[in-house]
Structure 1
Amino acid sequence: MKAGSARADGAVDANELARLSAVELLEGYRSRRFTPRDVIEDVIAALELTNASCNVVVTATYDSARAAADEATAAWSTGRPEGKLAGVPVSIKDLVYVAGVRALGGAPANKDLVPSVDAAVVSALKSAGAIVTCKTTTCESGYKLTADSPVSGITRNPWNTDRTSGGSSGGAAASVAAGCGPLAIGTDGVGSIRVPSSFCGVVGIKPTFGLVPRSPGFSPPSWASLAHTGPIARTVADAALLLEVVAAHDLRDAASLPVPPRSFDAIPGKLDGITIGSSVDFGYAAVAPDVRKAFRLAADTLGSLGADIVPDCVQFAPDMLERILKPIAYTEQAAAVSGRDTSALASSDSDYRDVVAQGATYSGIDYVEANYRRNSLRASFLEIFKTVDAIVTPTVAVTAFQAGALGVDRVDGVAVDRHLGWSPFSWPINLTGLPAATIPCGFDSDGLPIGLQIVAPWLDEDLIVRIAAAFEAARPWARFRPRMS
């Protein structure tokens, strides 16, 4: 895919439609410069090309996408389209159910699983007129922060195919970054929206826990008390629009919050009157030098937009991973597959089997004690938000590492946990249920994207969107594209 541009007459090259934002697509439909069928054909071509080099698609739904695009084209031709996303393509992470479409979820044991029901988010998207193009790659049960699995292989980064896309929503983030349509649905249990979005240079939002329902399809229900569903997009406005559509109360999800429909103002403005706490390391974490540099420049940019920046506002103990997260996350992961016998896990990743085995060793007392500590962590954030309106951190402590690896075991010369130690900023936010987003804020010396994480109090996604939109306007990133052959 080559970089292109809109022509002077306002028309768009046919092979550039897949790169347009959702907002631009809707405007193009209104002005009749192109149709949803035109767009779907270009999106399918882009997905096929990107899949060949990055491995982002598990199951294509191109025939049904074309049929839906024809219906949307007819609706737009009469001027009566229904829904906020009428004719806009969206991909769905393979942990989320789409009726009649395989739901492997990265697991060999799910080879015959074809759900008969849409997940709540998919129902909402279809009601809004969105067109599902494919199921995207993930790791098995979303257990790690890459999208490699025994059923789909290794997912790669479009900025450098020798590097990982991150995960577990790696296929979603990589496809959006590569220009295969503007929108994707991901899930996030320990960072699985934010990490791949950071590694691939796109926008990802993990909403407040319960704002977006997960039922009736999320397979298996791993990271049960940690997992969020949310948007991945190229722009802040697109991510906000997608979140508006999927945020809804659903009684089928016990964690779903009974809040009214949301709307978000993504028009950029100044940040006067907002106090933002910054933390480059949470007081203990090892962070790569390029990431530290990009973060400091990003914090300076927020200050130049009028925000009052409070440095070093977060100080956490370095044992949170072992004493809080693992006893909760690993136990929930083991519980999600407790009904499977040993042979059903024989073809799983060895690292996945290790996580399940470790999760089975924790006692009920271990799990409950970890949740007591989790409540203390939540209380810590409550105290922090008494003095600041929002918090910014790096999204990940490193940039994309070698494709196929579980992670890295050293950051800036410091030994870290290979599974989760290099992403110290993401999973504490899952433990608290706070909303958080990642937005691109620069590149490392190898030209790989770096992300800025924005965290706000519960249900204050409006503030996240406001800060992200202001930063996007000051430091626009959508013009930067990976060079795909």
Structure 2
Amino acid sequence: MTDGSGRAAVPPAPSGLGALSATEIMAGYRRKAFTPRDVVDDTIAALEATNETCNALVTPMYEQARADADRVTKEMRAGEAKGPLAGVPVTIKDLVFVAGVPAYAGSPMNKSFVPEADAAVVSALKASGAIITCKTTTCESGYKLTADSPVTGITRNPWNPRRTSGGSSGGAAAGVAAGCGPIAIGTDGVGSIRVPSSFCGVFGLKPTFGLVPRSPGFSPPSWASLAHTGPITRTVADAALTLEIIAGYDLRDAASLPVSARRFDTNPGRLDGIRIGASADLGYAAVSPDVCAAFGKALAILDSCGAQVTMDGPGLDPDILEHTLKPIAFTEQAAAVATKTAADLAGSEADYRNVVSAGRRYSGTDYIEASYRRGQARNAFVKLFERVDVLVTPTVAVTAFEAGQIGVESVDGKEVDPHLGWSPFTWPINLAGLPAATLPCGFDRDGMPIGLQIIAPWLDEATIFRIAAAFEQAQPWAKFWPQVALRGWPRA
């Protein structure tokens, strides 16, 4: 990959063990090159250094992480270590419950809340031997596509701390991008895994709705019919391994799908026979020139890998944001705090209170009518996947903007909704419940990462991984590191 000027942008790799992929860490354990305590110590050092610049952490869990690392180290020496992620550090977004650890969810209203049970995802990771190092930042209730909140302040981008990390899984993506461990767990209601992953130059996957259970802990239950849980990693193989572990049926989640255990092949190969539909704008979106240029280059790479690329798309309603998404998303956000008073919300951001107020103004009829339109959008994807195997789009219409803003008000000279209009490619996929991943595909003229989104039919994560692995081999993005990953940033 190159930056927007065509110049290579390959800084040296960081030296800490926390910058290794999960597969590299596991290989190192097999060679006895280092121990879990070595990896966790290096990861904690990277987290502390990165947090000084990027503000990506909410609650450190370092004492427990070191104790877990010592335990796994002893088990390895005794030949008793078990689990596909034994000794691998993982971070958890602060919307997801870890028993005994505060879950603020970015909200002052949760300042005293400590869950008693692990989320199913956390239970699965612990059973796999993974070591949780910390909780990462989110905006309040995951309501917007940055990770800024009244609880933690502004989360910044490791490629340029003057820019946003994106969100709401912004702390998760920033940590992975900066070499603070190979795996982060994020959540995605309107793009909250894919947007920060795109902005921070890492791989992020939103699985099929219901494939990864959310119960018993996902706080608060906002974006009820839209929210997914998934991995953020630097490599395709790490994301596939994580999804194999966290996917599964859980009776406590009404949306959980009763599917059997799955295994994914991430060995890179040719894409011969795969039909890829491509849309640079979904027929209605404003997109920045740098993103369009990177998208065009990405299509050429997919073509060179053997895929059959044609310009195609689902033909969605150009007013889908106002007519479909907002009546559903804002109503569900308001419902999550239905019992809260104005006094309870006084410490929340004004923009969050505005979303809640808007959600309370929609009627039940508005919500049901939007649900009908949602069904029409879903059917548009059904028809699209009769013609193509996957759809690719840009992940976000812009690159990371100034930190502290909710969004941008215009894209390429066209006015857009500052809350969600600059990310027109992510939330339609939540409405449809489809699996989608973002992978790095270039840089803009300022050296900020650009993402390519791959969208597959329901439960076809395997094809996403196949395409992503081929692209990763052709354009190995994991060799690119932000300045913060090298433990420094020029301070003014």
User: One fold, TM greater than 0.5?
Assistant: yes
**Which residue is 1:53 aligned to?**
53
Q: What is the alpha-carbon root mean square deviation over aligned residues?
A: 1.0
The amino acid of 1:408's aligned partner reads V
3-state SS, counterpart of residue 385 of structure 1: helix
1:64-143 mapped onto 2 (5 Å cutoff): 64-143=64-143
Please give the alpha-carbon distance, in whole angstroms, between the structure 2 residues aligned to 1:247 and 1:230: 9
Q: Deviation at 1:342?
A: 1.1
Please give the alpha-carbon distance, in whole angstroms, between the structure 2 residues aligned to 1:209 and 1:337: 23
Is 1:20 the equivalent of 2:20? yes
* Structure 1 pair 3–87 and aligned structure 2 pair: CA distance change class (3 A): farther
**Which residue is 1:450 aligned to?**
450
**Which residue is 2:381 aligned to?**
381
**Which residue is 2:144 aligned to?**
144
Q: Deviation at 1:16?
A: 1.8
Please give the alpha-carbon distance, in whole angstroms, between the structure 2 residues aligned to 1:121 and 1:89: 15
Segments of 5+ residues of structure 2 without an aligned counterpart are 1-9
3-state SS, counterpart of residue 342 of structure 1: coil
Please give the alpha-carbon distance, in whole angstroms, between the structure 2 residues aligned to 1:147 and 1:413: 26
3-state SS, counterpart of residue 438 of structure 1: strand
Please give the alpha-carbon distance, in whole angstroms, between the structure 2 residues aligned to 1:79 and 1:466: 34
Please give the alpha-carbon distance, in whole angstroms, between the structure 2 residues aligned to 1:317 and 1:250: 34
**Which residue is 1:251 aligned to?**
251
The amino acid of 2:343's aligned partner reads S
Please give the alpha-carbon distance, in whole angstroms, between the structure 2 residues aligned to 1:248 and 1:31: 32
Q: Deviation at 1:313?
A: 2.9
Normalized against structure 1, the TM-score is what?
0.97
Please give the alpha-carbon distance, in whole angstroms, between the structure 1 residues aligned to 2:11 and 2:472: 20
Number of residues of Structure 1 aligned to a counterpart in Structure 2: 476
Please give the alpha-carbon distance, in whole angstroms, between the structure 1 residues aligned to 2:434 and 2:291: 23
Please give the alpha-carbon distance, in whole angstroms, between the structure 2 residues aligned to 1:81 and 1:49: 30
**Which residue is 2:406 aligned to?**
406
The amino acid of 1:386's aligned partner reads E
The amino acid of 1:122's aligned partner reads V
* Cα deviations by residue, 1:381-440 (Å, 9 ceiling, x for unpaired): 000000000000000000000000000010000000000000000000000000000000
**Which residue is 1:176 aligned to?**
176
| Preserved contact between residue 247 and residue 261 of structure 2 (Cα < 8 Å) | yes
* Cα deviations by residue, 1:344-377 (Å, 9 ceiling, x for unpaired): 1001000000000000000000000000000000
Q: Deviation at 1:3?
A: 6.5
| Preserved contact between residue 4 and residue 16 of structure 1 (Cα < 8 Å) | no
Please give the alpha-carbon distance, in whole angstroms, between the structure 1 residues aligned to 2:12 and 2:445: 25
| Preserved contact between residue 193 and residue 204 of structure 1 (Cα < 8 Å) | yes
Please give the alpha-carbon distance, in whole angstroms, between the structure 2 residues aligned to 1:392 and 1:150: 35
3-state SS, counterpart of residue 467 of structure 1: helix
Please give the alpha-carbon distance, in whole angstroms, between the structure 1 residues aligned to 2:292 and 2:78: 52
| Higher mean C-alpha displacement, 113-122 vs 315-324 | 315-324
Please give the alpha-carbon distance, in whole angstroms, between the structure 1 residues aligned to 2:331 and 2:316: 23
Q: Deviation at 1:104?
A: 0.2
Please give the alpha-carbon distance, in whole angstroms, between the structure 2 residues aligned to 1:313 and 1:96: 34
| Preserved contact between residue 315 and residue 380 of structure 2 (Cα < 8 Å) | no
**Which residue is 2:3 aligned to?**
none
3-state SS, counterpart of residue 16 of structure 2: helix
Please give the alpha-carbon distance, in whole angstroms, between the structure 1 residues aligned to 2:222 and 2:48: 30
**Which residue is 2:418 aligned to?**
418
**Which residue is 1:8 aligned to?**
none
Please give the alpha-carbon distance, in whole angstroms, between the structure 1 residues aligned to 2:235 and 2:313: 28
Please give the alpha-carbon distance, in whole angstroms, between the structure 1 residues aligned to 2:210 and 2:464: 17
| Preserved contact between residue 89 and residue 182 of structure 1 (Cα < 8 Å) | yes
Q: Percent identity?
A: 68
Q: Deviation at 1:340?
A: 1.0
**Which residue is 2:38 aligned to?**
38
Please give the alpha-carbon distance, in whole angstroms, between the structure 1 residues aligned to 2:339 and 2:82: 43
Please give the alpha-carbon distance, in whole angstroms, between the structure 2 residues aligned to 1:144 and 1:50: 23
3-state SS, counterpart of residue 30 of structure 1: helix
1:291-302 mapped onto 2 (5 Å cutoff): 291-302=291-302
Q: Deviation at 1:79?
A: 2.4
Please give the alpha-carbon distance, in whole angstroms, between the structure 2 residues aligned to 1:414 and 1:4: 38
**Which residue is 1:350 aligned to?**
350
**Which residue is 2:5 aligned to?**
none
Is 1:328 the equivalent of 2:328? yes
Please give the alpha-carbon distance, in whole angstroms, between the structure 2 residues aligned to 1:378 and 1:144: 23
| Preserved contact between residue 393 and residue 453 of structure 1 (Cα < 8 Å) | yes
Q: Deviation at 1:314?
A: 3.5
Please give the alpha-carbon distance, in whole angstroms, between the structure 2 residues aligned to 1:213 and 1:473: 31
| Preserved contact between residue 213 and residue 253 of structure 2 (Cα < 8 Å) | yes
Q: Deviation at 1:315?
A: 2.6
Q: Deviation at 1:76?
A: 1.4
**Which residue is 1:359 aligned to?**
359
Please give the alpha-carbon distance, in whole angstroms, between the structure 2 residues aligned to 1:321 and 1:4: 42
| Preserved contact between residue 210 and residue 255 of structure 1 (Cα < 8 Å) | yes
| Preserved contact between residue 44 and residue 62 of structure 1 (Cα < 8 Å) | yes
Please give the alpha-carbon distance, in whole angstroms, between the structure 2 residues aligned to 1:273 and 1:100: 50
Segments of 5+ residues of structure 1 without an aligned counterpart are 6-12
The amino acid of 1:233's aligned partner reads T
3-state SS, counterpart of residue 386 of structure 2: coil
Q: Deviation at 1:78?
A: 2.0
Runs of 4+ in 1 over 6 A off after TM superposition: none
| Preserved contact between residue 280 and residue 312 of structure 1 (Cα < 8 Å) | no
Q: Deviation at 1:312?
A: 3.4
Please give the alpha-carbon distance, in whole angstroms, between the structure 2 residues aligned to 1:76 and 1:414: 58
Please give the alpha-carbon distance, in whole angstroms, between the structure 2 residues aligned to 1:339 and 1:470: 49
**Which residue is 2:273 aligned to?**
273
The amino acid of 1:289's aligned partner reads P
3-state SS, counterpart of residue 229 of structure 1: strand
**Which residue is 1:9 aligned to?**
none
